[in-house]
Every structure is written in C-alpha cells, then in structure tokens.
Structure 1
C-alpha cells in the first residue's frame, strides 16, 4: 500500500469517527426528544408515543427509492451526504414550531416522517460504503472504538435534558426545545460536511447496486443464514417496540420524573456502553460476533420486567447500566454479523428492504403496546402488563436466534443429539448412528 493510500485511509477513519460523533449528538439532542416535545405540546401519552414509530414507518416506505437513486447519481458518497443535509434541514421546522409555542399534530408527524425518510436513505448506502473504507482486519476494533465515541457524545446530546429542565423552571419549556433542536440541526449539518470529505475507494460500486424488485428480493434472500439473521433481528425489534416508545411517557407522566432524572436514567445506558464496549470488542474477536449477539439477547430479554421491581431513581440507573451491557453486546454482534453475512454489492438492496420491514415491525409493536395501554389505561397496571409482555416475547425470540447457527449456542444440533440418543435407549427402537450436524453447521462461512 502506498504512503498516499495509508494517509487517505487514516483520514477516512478520523472522518468516520467525526461523522459518528456529530450524528450521535443530533440523535441525543433531537431524535430522543421528539416524544417529550409532543407531550410538552399537550398531546396524549399514546399519541406522543406513536410519534416514535409511525413517522418511522412512513420514512422507511419512502426510502425504497434509495437503490434506484444511488444508481442514478452514481456515487455512494454524494447520495449519503446530500440526504444527511436534508435530515439536518428537517429539524428546522421543529425549531420554528417550538419557538412559536404550538404545532399541529399532523405537521409534527409530517416533519418527523421527512426526518426519518432522509435518515433511512443514508443508511444502506453508508453501510455499503463503510466496508470499502474500513478493511475487515481492523473492522471489529475500529467499530468498538468508534462506538465508544458515539455513545459518549450520545450521552452529551442527552444532556439536553438539563436544558429542558432549565426551560421548565424558567417557564419557557418550548423555547428550551427550540434550543436543543437547533443544536441537533447544527450537529447533523457538520456531519453532512464531514461525509462529503470522505474518499470513495470503489466509485463503481454505486452502479452495481440492484434495485429491490420482487425477483431480486427472492434471489438475495435465498441464503438461509442471511434470511435467518434478519428475521431474528426483526422479531427482536418487534418485541422491543411493544414498550420502547412508551418509556418516555411512563417516566414523565406515570413516575413523575423530572427531565434531569430522565437524563440520568438514559445516561446509565450509554455510560455503560462506553465502559463495556472495549470488553465486548475483545469478546467478538475471541469468540465471534454470533456468541456476543447471544449474550446480548439473553441479557436484554428480561430487562423490561425488571422496571417493575422498583421505581426508585437509583434502581432505574443501575438497571440501565445492566441494560447497556446487553445492548453493547447485541448491537456489536448484529452489526458485525451483517457485514460478515451479506456481501457488499448486495447490502444496499437487502438493507433497504430490511429497513422497511424493520419500521413495519416497530410500528406494529408500538400499536400493540398502545392498544394495551388504551385497554388497561396508562397507570401502573397497564405498564406492568406491557413490560411483562415484552419480556416474555423476547424470551420466545431466542428460538429464532438458534436458526442462524453455527454462530450461537448450537441449540438445534444439541436437540438433535438428545433426540437421537433418547431414541436409541428406548426398548424396541433400533439404535441409529447418524451425523446430526447439518451442512450449514459444518461450514461457518455460510
């Protein structure tokens, strides 16, 4: 590799971290405040909670044009930074609405739908572009290092809670939201500028991206392991989003937490991720991303039910530290498995379809959760049922995770072994000697 190539790669890695830092600052200061903003405008808990998913579904449907658009423009870099800039611009109407003190709910839903659509349009092309910027040999280490920066600045973004608290005490709660949304828009603008300065080592890759036609989708999803991984991830997020959109309303309205207290609870998660990510990265390198994903899935499964143990602030913070470790494992394992499992020339159409499916299951999960709260009420009884339900669903989803062997605990293999040996011990049944390891489990590269 030439000296110029080494310099370019190091510059790209620095820019990737800078972009991630600005993106996470936008997420913490802006995206995570959407539901609280709707509550501050006077809308109900269910209406506000659904703001976290319904615009997401609309945006995911719009982003289906991404593969066609990338091929038309002919550059992954140009497409990504352009829509990052549009996402930054979509936050400006929220600044204006908060400054004016009101915003119709239909306008709020449209603006946040544009936010999600533009964000989704950057996702799959960026994932395809990322593999050309970061060699596979350093990818796990770089990803965990970048993730630590991201989680740190996500925590800084969540300090918007202090701004909101100060605004409420000063009698200017909506002006405080205008400030934090303005910070979020500025951060994403800087992110778009950094994206525009990345190199594009494989400029012809954009022309190779296939549009997600029905025939292409059937062919791309024919691989069993790709299909199994994505189906499990969809099932997991369906379970998560039964409760996820309603934690904000639960903390604010039912538990009566102040903004600074909500910030402390959220900071427990992200501080924990920062602390554990180096350890998780070492686990991924030593044992593989599949086993790390299993750890995350098992740890996070009962987490929602643990909220019912106590409503004391110290307990909620400790619980989120535990949850942060689980999410660090789950996110690292799933992210690396996507890169290991899906070839880069197929990643954009596959992940474009996946994002629509993901937004769909998130919306279905939130509608299920909203239906439970409408039926049982938004008191402790309704939330207790909701949190127990989502934990039970996550435990059931572990069976789907077994379908992506040999990355995990080889549950199917062990079940076949047990069945075979049990049959051999039953009087009158012939003992059989079979190789119960299937071809997919023999070949971990599949």
Structure 2
C-alpha cells in the first residue's frame, strides 16, 4: 500500500495516513453500514422497515448535516470539523451493538419490535449525518494536503485499496452471519460486526487526527445559499454541472438499484452465496479496473473517464432483462464493476477540479441533501412502478428497462461536461 514517491517526509506520512484511513473506512462500511438493513430485518421482522432503512435515515442525516459549513466556521478548521463528525459516526455503532447484545433469544413482542424502528432509524440518521457532514470538509482539507500533480495517481491507488477493504469485509461479514445463523441465533451476531465497525472507524479517526492541516480555512470561504445553489444547478454554472450529472445519475439508478436483491432472492430464487457472489463480483472488478481508469485519467483527463462511466452504466439495468442465467449475470456484474469503478474515481477527481475551494464544503453539503432526495425519489418511483405492474417477475423487468432508458438521458449532460475543459492554469472553470 504505497503512495506515489514524495520527497517531503511529513507529506509522505500524511499521505500514508490518508491512504490507511480510506481502508479503515471501507472496512467499517463492509461490516457495519452494509449490514444495517439486515439488522433491522432481524430485529423488526419487517421487510418494509428493512427497505426503508436504506433511504429514510440517509435523508434524515442529509438534513442534519446542513449545519456543516457553519460548524467549520465555528471551529475555524476543516480538520476539527471532520474529526468531530467522524467521531460521531464512530459512536453510532455503540447503541447498535448494545441492542444486538441485549436482544432476547426468544422473539420479542410485536410492540417492542415496532417501537424500536424509530430508535434504530434515529441512530442510523446520526451515523449518516456524521459521515456526510465530514465529506465536504474532507474534500476541502485534502485539496491542501494532496498536491494537485499527484492526485489522479494517489486517489486511484487509495480507491483501489478502499474497494479491496470493502470486498474483504463484506464477504467476511456475510460468511460470519451465515455461520452464526446456522446456530439459530441471528440478532446477537450483529454485535460483533458493529463492534468491529466501531474499532475500524476509531482507528480511522486517530489517523485523521494525526494528519496535518496546512490551511484550516480557505481564503474567502463562503456559504452558498440554497437559492443560489439551485439557480447555478439549473443554469449549469459555477461548478455545478458535475453536481447536476451526479444527481441525475443517482435518481435514474435508484429506480432499479434497491430492487435487485429482491429480484435475485424472490424471483430467481438465488441463494445467499449466489447473491454474495454477484455483489462481490462487482466490487472485485471495481478493484481490477481502477488502475486502468487511473491511467486513462492521467493521460486523457478525468472527464473522459466520467463520460465512459456514464455510457457504461446506462445499459446495465436493462441487461438483466436479456437473460437471468447465473453465469450471464456474473458477466453483467463484471461490466457493472468496470463502469461504477470509473464513476467513483472520476467523481472524486472532478470534485477537486470543478468546485472552487472556498465554496467546496458548502456546495457538497447541499449536494448531500439533494443526493438523498434523489435517492428517495428514484427508489419511490421504482417502488410505485413495481407495485403498479403487479410485483411480478415481469414488473421487475419493467423497472430495470425504465431505469436504463432514464440513465441514457444523463449522457448528453455528461457529454457537455466532457467538452468543457478546465482553463490552462488548472483552476475550476466558472461554468465547469
């Protein structure tokens, strides 16, 4: 796990800390975040509550994290705010582990299960608020930590290691839950996973504390009012062309995204092992493709990677309509890993390139809110279409097709972003 060679010893240490922080974060996601919906299902016994667990807390957290720009100003430092928010996210795993440990061996009464839903959602909302509130400030902090000349190669390497961490922890958590469930006790198994997630994020917090901050606040830092943010979004000006593409892809992808698991389990009667293999294949091919996309970004620019990602993502949902043979679906997931791997790397690099540093925290904070709105809106539309089409095998094929058609509409927006090159001095273009 080596960063690109750097002469400055202190900078090498910072880059190493940020690299390992990414791995610790991904391990936390694999054993903690990925398992939350399963935990809600095990505790409440409600498929509805389990489905809402991946959207409602995210939206609530997105509202809470709107305080981020003001928190950064109050503390006078991007780093202090990031560390505070990450610590909050870390502590969110404590009550989750406590619920898992205290859960009775015999199923609790229905009233108890129902009463726990808002409690669990509230804890998850704090988790998401901490993570999203840290995100915008982290990007601004990293712009003064990672030299611009090495960002593409460095973040390509960091992304690859983070994806490997997510794959490893995801598979390990799945195997552990499967083995534990065989013994008849399911809920208590989550205590170990949440405790591990706590430890991973605690290490991550320590690494962030140990990373230097050369510029606590950018010069002329400002909070972009939501009204101005929306006007710039509609006009595709002031750096928000990238944001518009990201929000559009989030909405169109979520029309189908939340329903693939149900399709595999209910309609294709896939086993847990097959479900894990399909998801794991996507993550694996993200890892394998990241060096390729990093090379393309270095040679031809992140905007080309972004455009390739959009072209690759568009047909993915519709490919599930063509055939449902397991080997065929594995090939589709390979393509999915290639496309989404390009997307994730390009979005990181273009966030540095297109958003002005003194506005970045504020713009990304508002983007988090609308990203959550797009997620809920897209999944709600998909759910309505699924219900209207009769919740049948063919109903799933309908929403997969609609999602791919909608994704195609995003590509012209991405093409316009590709055609707008940054100015020669490398500063974000006003209309980028």
TM range (shorter): 0.7 to 0.9
Give the CA deviation at 1:248: 3.0
Distance in 2, matches of 1:286 and 1:266, equals 30
Distance in 2, matches of 1:255 and 1:45, equals 18
Tell me, yes or no, if the aligned pair for 1:50 and 1:366 is still in contact at 8 Å.
Answer: no
Give the CA deviation at 1:186: 1.5
Partner of 2:237: 224
Tell me, yes or no, if the aligned pair for 1:273 and 1:324 is still in contact at 8 Å.
Answer: yes
**Structure 1 residues 293 and 444, CA, compared in 2 at 3 Å: closer, same or farther?**
farther
Distance in 2, matches of 1:220 and 1:348, equals 16
Distance in 2, matches of 1:12 and 1:129, equals 12
Match of 1:59 among 58, 61, 68: 61
**Structure 1 residues 273 and 386, CA, compared in 2 at 3 Å: closer, same or farther?**
same
Partner of 2:168: 156
After superposition, residues 132-281 of structure 1 pair within 5 angstroms as 132-159=144-171, 160-205=173-218, 208-214=220-226, 217=229, 224=237, 226-281=239-294
- The Cα offsets for residues 308-367 of structure 1, whole Å up to 9 and x where unpaired, read as 344444333322111010011112222211211112111111111111111111111111
Match of 1:21 among 4, 13, 23: 23
Distance in 2, matches of 1:445 and 1:7, equals 38
User: More displaced, 306-315 or 19-28?
Assistant: 306-315
Partner of 1:398: 411
SS in 2 for 1:202: coil
SS in 1 for 2:270: coil
Give the CA deviation at 1:261: 2.8
User: More displaced, 160-169 or 306-315?
Assistant: 306-315
**Structure 1 residues 163 and 311, CA, compared in 2 at 3 Å: closer, same or farther?**
farther
User: More displaced, 104-113 or 368-377?
Assistant: 368-377
Which 5+ residue runs of structure 1 have no aligned equivalent? 409-442
Query: Residue 108 in 1 paired to residue 120 in 2?
Result: yes
Query: Residue 117 in 1 paired to residue 129 in 2?
Result: yes
Partner of 1:439: none
Tell me, yes or no, if the aligned pair for 1:50 and 1:367 is still in contact at 8 Å.
Answer: no
Distance in 2, matches of 1:326 and 1:282, equals 15
Give the CA deviation at 1:44: 4.2
Give the CA deviation at 1:108: 2.0
User: More displaced, 235-244 or 137-146?
Assistant: 235-244
Distance in 2, matches of 1:444 and 1:280, equals 26
Which 5+ residue runs of structure 2 have no aligned equivalent? 1-5, 422-428
**Structure 1 residues 150 and 337, CA, compared in 2 at 3 Å: closer, same or farther?**
same
Q: Which has more radius of gyration?
A: 1
- Displacement over 4 Å in runs of 4+: 218-223, 443-446
User: More displaced, 303-312 or 208-217?
Assistant: 208-217
Give the CA deviation at 1:129: 0.4
Tell me, yes or no, if the aligned pair for 2:247 and 2:374 is still in contact at 8 Å.
Answer: yes
User: More displaced, 322-331 or 172-181?
Assistant: 172-181
The count of aligned residue pairs is 408
- Normalised TM-score (structure 2): 0.88
- The Cα offsets for residues 5-60 of structure 1, whole Å up to 9 and x where unpaired, read as 81111001100111100100111111112222233335444442222112111111
Tell me, yes or no, if the aligned pair for 1:36 and 1:249 is still in contact at 8 Å.
Answer: no
- Normalised TM-score (structure 1): 0.85
Partner of 1:427: none
Partner of 1:34: 36
Tell me, yes or no, if the aligned pair for 2:238 and 2:431 is still in contact at 8 Å.
Answer: no
Tell me, yes or no, if the aligned pair for 2:304 and 2:418 is still in contact at 8 Å.
Answer: no
**Structure 1 residues 96 and 251, CA, compared in 2 at 3 Å: closer, same or farther?**
farther
Tell me, yes or no, if the aligned pair for 1:161 and 1:262 is still in contact at 8 Å.
Answer: no
Give the CA deviation at 1:96: 2.3
Give the CA deviation at 1:85: 1.3
Give the CA deviation at 1:255: 3.3
**Structure 1 residues 378 and 42, CA, compared in 2 at 3 Å: closer, same or farther?**
farther
Distance in 2, matches of 1:219 and 1:392, equals 27
Tell me, yes or no, if the aligned pair for 1:209 and 1:348 is still in contact at 8 Å.
Answer: no
